Amino acid sequence: MKSKYIFILFIILAIVQLCIPAQMINHRETILDEGKAFKFKTEPIDPSDPFKGKYIYLNYELESFKVDSMDWKTNQDIYVSIVNDSFGFVKASAIQKEAPENGDFVKAKVDWYNTNMKEVQFTFPFNEFYMEETKAYDAELAHREAQRDSLPDNTYALVYIKNGEAVLDNVFINDIPIADFVEK
Map out the domains of the chain as residue ranges. 1-34, 36-183
Q: Percent of the chain having pLDDT more than 90?
A: 39
pLDDT at residue 107 tops 70: yes
Range 72-97 average pLDDT: 93
pLDDT band at 53 (very low <50, low <70, confident <90, very high): low
pTM metric for this prediction:
0.77
pLDDT band at 4 (very low <50, low <70, confident <90, very high): confident
Q: Nearest 5°: phi and psi at 50?
A: -65, -20
Angle, CA 81 vertex, CA 75 and CA 84 arms, to 5°: 130
